[in-house]
């Protein structure tokens, strides 16, 4: 069975009789490894209670646009950033019409506008409503904007009619959700990704490091695996669960990371240097704990190897992607770094903003390559990672 591990699914439930199936859909999504949160319209609450879906999902159910419990009362923004997928099941004729018009008159339609996540709809309505030209036009509008549909199925309906309009079974919808992430964009490609910080020892118990959580690199590894790549993750010390279907190689120091990456290069098509590698290390490592002494201490440092530059200059040089974590002049510094190190692509992000910097679940980046650039607006790091992987696949395809 395909999986949704490390993916956040936001399930929207609108007001149709098929809402009773949403309970089973939550279970099916969770069986595939997804984290699930639920938004219910007022109409949906007439068919199934929020308490049922709260108990099944393990998370509070969201029903109100202006939520006093949400951070700054902006629950729709928080939910939109959290989601890797917005799945609406059932999607009634009314809900589809409001989405097609870009309405934002309840929490569910507002989140649909406020998220960068893909939209998957499972329509459910009377067979004549499904065939009506207005519904056909609304579906076409949403499809042109990138929304995807699963179903509807045909059969006997609650009203007694028979025909198309039944919501697909939860197992089929959950399978469709998993297939959205299995893109095949990098099928068969071998990709190496570095992630997390490095640690450079001062003595047996102290080290130089930084605040990198590794979340962006791990999200990239998940996105690469979902895209069909044979993925190896070379990770510094982090507190993260490694993605499924990814080979994890753990290292501590910059030199260990370099040696591991160089050993992998002969079988590497794409290299993404996402790790926050310490630029310097102590010239010597003390064998015993350094005792407290004078008020001021001089600590000689030496430069660490430049991993991404070494990979780019290698005779086995793959398509090489770097990261530029900057606090000012972000894009200009990143472009200069790309040119200086001979990279094919670079991802620039502003780490001066604590809401998208180290340890944050969100990010906002500008991706630069030789002939263009793309700005990925703020979203969770899984969504950003999938955008980056798609851009890499597009550039490799255009060059072949």
**Catalytic site residues?**
159
Burial (0-12, 13-18, 19+ Cβ within 10 Å), 293 = exposed
Residues with Cβ < 8 Å from 55, sequence gap 6 or more? none
Number of separate helices (H) and strands (E) present in the chain: 13, 19
CA distance 317 to 312: 5
Strand partners, 248: 233
Please state whether 184 falls in left (phi above 0), alpha (psi between -120 and 50) or beta: left
Please state whether 112 falls in left (phi above 0), alpha (psi between -120 and 50) or beta: alpha
CA distance 389 to 29: 24
Q: Is the dihedral of CA 307, 308, 310, 311 positive or negative?
A: positive
Burial 236-272 (b: 16+ CB within 10 A, else e): bebebebbebbeebebbbbebbbebbbebbeebebbb
């Amino acid at each position: 069975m395909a999986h949704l591990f490390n993916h956040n699914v936001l399930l929207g439930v609108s007001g149709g009789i098929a809402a009773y199936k949403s309970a089973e859909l939550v279970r099916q999504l969770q069986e595939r490894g997804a984290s699930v949160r639920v938004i219910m319209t007022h109409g949906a609450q007439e068919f199934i209670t929020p308490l049922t879906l709260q108990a099944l999902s393990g998370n509070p159910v969201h029903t109100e646009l202006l939520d006093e419990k949400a951070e700054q009362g902006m629950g729709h923004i928080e939910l939109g950033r959290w989601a890797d997928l917005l799945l609406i099941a059932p999607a009634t004729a009314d809900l589809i019409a409001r989405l097609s018009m870009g309405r934002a008159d309840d929490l569910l339609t507002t989140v649909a506008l406020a998220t960068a996540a893909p939209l998957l709809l499972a329509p459910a309505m009377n067979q004549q409503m499904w065939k009506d030209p207005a519904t056909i036009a609304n579906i076409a509008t949403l499809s042109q904007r990138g929304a995807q549909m699963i179903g509807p199925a045909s059969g006997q309906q609650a009203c007694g009619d028979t025909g198309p309009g039944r919501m697909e079974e939860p197992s089929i919808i959950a399978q469709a959700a998993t297939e959205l992430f299995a893109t095949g964009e990098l099928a068969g490609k071998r990709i190496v990704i570095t992630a997390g910080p490095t640690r450079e020892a001062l003595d047996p118990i102290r080290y130089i490091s930084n605040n990198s959580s590794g979340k962006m690199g791990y999200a990239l590894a998940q996105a690469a695996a979902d895209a069909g790549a044979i993925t190896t993750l070379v990770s510094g010390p982090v507190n993260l669960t490694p993605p499924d279907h990814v080979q994890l190689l753990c290292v501590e120091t910059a030199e260990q990371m370099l040696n591991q990456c160089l050993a992998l290069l002969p079988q590497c098509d794409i290299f993404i240097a996402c790790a926050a590698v310490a630029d310097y290390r102590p010239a010597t490592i003390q064998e015993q704990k350094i005792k407290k002494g004078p008020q001021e201490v001089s600590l000689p440092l030496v430069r660490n190897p430049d991993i991404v530059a070494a990979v780019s200059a290698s005779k086995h040089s793959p398509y090489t992607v770097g990261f530029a974590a900057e606090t000012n002049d972000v894009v200009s510094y990143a472009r200069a770094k790309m040119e200086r190190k001979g990279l094919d692509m670079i991802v620039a992000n502003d780490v001066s903003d604590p809401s998208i910097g180290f340890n944050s679940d969100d990010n906002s980046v500008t991706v630069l390559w030789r002939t263009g650039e793309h700005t990925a607006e703020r979203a969770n790091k899984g969504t950003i990672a999938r955008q980056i992987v798609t851009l890499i696949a597009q550039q490799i395809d255009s060059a072949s």
